[in-house]
Chains A and B, each alone.
Chain A
């Protein structure tokens, strides 16, 4: 940069003409501004917007891996709607997202309140609690997979020893009634730190005076939480819940590693079904159509976010 600068200055001296004009042109606020966002804009157009257009095109064609297909209109969607596996996936996605987000919210607020109290090993505890969010999800899910093993499950071993269940205990990942519970548990485990840390930031920003005022008015700890903390936390909670909703809805890693959508498709989400259909099965057209079902949820979240931000 410095070299280029010097060259520019030296060159500008004898022929003050063109280079100086280029420099003057570049120094204009709008030219400089557009220039700086150009690389990011190109990236977004070529590798986000264009692929999105392609996804729509794929969904309207009979495109298979290795053979560019023809336009078939809404055939893919018609087929999907007739497919029982897809119905199950829609049901799974809503169950998975609503229960996981609900637990993450409740436990997240509770954990944030606990973290907010001054502890001796504050930094250590925060570090430990945030760890599941930082470690590669696919790898930590491998540990969960082992913990839910059909024969050697440590969860069952513990529960049997404590007398909570009778041996051999449920086959977590192999039985339709338990697999969803397992997948949700891992998602909550992984997403809880995100909630807790952000809600904690919200708690820190609440002025102490409000609590003191509430105390003077005779509010107990529940009263203070109900009438001071919760209302002031609402904006932060709204953002966190919206964020988490879209990323939980679009989850892939946990289900892919833990159950691959099984048993009998009871844990398939849109992303895993799209992967199964589009890449494993090779039917890109239908796979793209399935993954596009993530879009309405994304649109809804974006809509709320933008409205919310604009109001600020």
Chain B
């Protein structure tokens, strides 16, 4: 019985050790968000008072910064732009990459491996390598300074990523299921739409989630291709247009950062497990 007691003691000590070590990480991860929220709810007098404790709100919670953001800036226009861009770019990319991913994962034809490699290489190309020429491409296409500039260019990083992710999911579906459908007289397209796709739903959910997140968060293209305030995305609008001269509207700036993050936080809280599995699959599989 002494063994049992000792092992329980050891287990407790081990758990305490684990908690003690994980807490700094959790604090490190969450503090900037906490600070963001608290700043957005503080009045300016307290915000710029060197004697106040920055971690707390001592003189009462106010919502003035949010009122300013909502009614004195183009914030909702930016949010609307972001939403349209994310939804359209993600949907288009989903269709393109489902077709390509299925083809590359399942069908046999000359060159299929080289195409797979090409998709993988494109996946690794950072957007910062191509933003200068793309800024000229959108000028030539006549869509510069509109939200279309972003809808057209976002698939350049979404499609390679989504195709890569979906290839992994398609490969896990047993081939026999498709072969049965084909033998029964279904066309290839029917097999893909009615047999394979329903089985790849987790992969598709992942692609939609990551597509939405990546497009909503995108910064360099949105900063570069659009300069008109009315056509900006939420991230760029908050980052670039709420700052004026030397005076920082820290309260409303942090309010903007909070609200512009909310859509992502909601999706994230609802689908946390998909984020974890998609992240793992995207990087490791293949």
Contacts and interface: CB of A to CB of B under 8 A. Distances in A.
- Pair from one complex: yes
Interface in B132-166: 132-137, 152-153, 155-156, 159-160, 163
A86 interface: no
A193 B29 contact: yes
A51 B25 contact: no
B126 A298 contact: yes
B216 A136 contact: yes
A1 B193 contact: yes
A291 B132 contact: yes
7 contacts: A37-B99, A39-B99, A142-B254, A143-B35, A271-B220, A275-B224, A298-B124
B25 A111 contact: yes
Interface of B is mostly: helix
Given A47-B156, A129-B25, A142-B253, A291 B100 contact: no
Interface stretch (B58-66, B183-191, B199-207): B183-191
Interface string A262-285: 000000001100110011000010
Contacts of A129: 25-26, 29
Contact of B236 (A35, A111, A138): A138
**Which 8 pairs show the lowest CB-CB distances between chains A and B?**
A250-B126, A30-B109, A40-B100, A271-B128, A33-B107, A36-B103, A54-B133, A51-B133
Q: Size range of the interface on B? A: 35 or more
Interface of A: 1, 5, 23, 26-27, 29-30, 32-37, 39-41, 43-44, 47-48, 50-52, 54-55, 58, 107, 110-111, 114-115, 117, 119, 123, 125-140, 142-144, 146-147, 151-152, 154, 157, 189, 192-194, 197-198, 201-202, 236, 239-240, 243, 246-247, 249-253, 256-257, 270-271, 274-275, 278-279, 284, 287-288, 291-292, 294-295, 298, 301-302, 305-306, 309
Contacts of A251: 128
Contacts of B264: 134-136
Interface string B230-259: 000001101100000000001001101100
A246 B124 contact: yes
